[in-house]
Amino acid sequence: MRTLLVILGAAIGAPARFAIDQYFRKFTNKPYGIFVVNVVGSFVFGLTINSAQNTYALFAIGFAGAFTTWSTFMLDFFLAYEQKKYKDAAINLGASIVFGLLAASLGMSLT
């Protein structure tokens, strides 16, 4: 049963990430969409960390696992660095870590 919940959550999370990222990329070449999904995903993980196993499987492992993306985050960081946009790279890295941790902490505090 939990495997099906993970699949269901992932089937919603991955397309949601794609849609949000594509929306932001209409307006800027900066990785704001990936930043938003990673922070929101961190919040979802924090919010559901103490939930029942099925709830955690659906929302944290399935949805947030497919919604967030470490690989695209690292690619965006690398591309900014490679293009000598050091300030953009540093801001993306620092803000993602700080706001991701704050979002996870906020989610955990609400449970």
Q: Which residues are known binding-site members?
A: 65, 68
In terms of phi and psi (left: phi > 0; alpha: psi -120 to 50; beta: otherwise), the region of 84 is left
> What does the alpha-carbon distance between residue 55 and residue 73 come to, in Å, rounded to a whole number?
26
Instruction: Extract the tokens encoding 84.
Output: 């000598």
Q: Which residues contribute to the annotated binding site for Na(+)?
A: 65, 68
Helices 86-109 and 70-82, axial angle in degrees (round to 10): 160
Q: Please say whether the beta carbons of 34 and 95 come within 8 A.
A: no
> Which helix (H) or strand (E) covers residue 60, if one does?
none
